[in-house]
Amino acid sequence: MRFGPSAAACLLIASLAGCQQPGPPPSATMPPLLTTVFDGAYRATVTVTKTGSGADPTWCQTQPPASINIAGDRFSLALPHPNVPGNPTPTFAVAVAPDGSFQTQSVDGTASFAGHISGGHLQGVVNMAGCQYGVAADRR
């Protein structure tokens, strides 16, 4: 019996398909996805927690943000210092890890910011020359 090229191709494909082992049956339950999202608007407070010895305490005064907005588990924080000549403003670009922790340096490298978010509450510490700040925020 002779087969044309298309019939032979069909037989070859059919025979190869028959050689495959069936996969496991689909599971009735899928494991939960482990995703953590901290997105939202947080009402924020920033307090001076420590002033370096010999530092002018008024230089640590800052204008804290009224809120911190987290989107895609990222947010930014700027702490202007209006009483310091030149009004330096350390700015932080923060990425929140899946466990809620974060740790970063300011864009200019003069300060650090580390903390954690849990249950809609953000708690962190900013360290810079002569001043330390506590940052607290609650999701609205």
Residue 135 belongs to some domain of the structure: yes
For Cα atoms 51, 79, 52, give the angle at the middle one, nearest 5 degrees: 10
CATH number for the domain harbouring residue 118: 2.40.128
Cα distance from N-terminal residue to C-terminal residue, the chain: 78
Cite the DSSP H helix spans in the chain: 5-19
pTM as predicted = 0.73
Q: Which domain holds residue 85?
A: 40-139
Residue 96 belongs to some domain of the structure: yes
Residue 29 belongs to some domain of the structure: no
Residue 32 belongs to some domain of the structure: no
Residue 4 belongs to some domain of the structure: no
Domain count, the chain: 1
One digit per residue, the tens of pLDDT, for the chain of length 140 reads 555 555 544 444 444 445 455 555 555 565 554 445 899 999 999 999 999 888 888 999 998 889 999 999 999 999 999 998 889 999 999 999 999 999 999 999 999 999 999 999 999 999 998 899 999 999 99
Residue 71 belongs to some domain of the structure: yes
Residue 7 belongs to some domain of the structure: no
Residue 19 belongs to some domain of the structure: no
Q: How many residues does the chain have?
A: 140
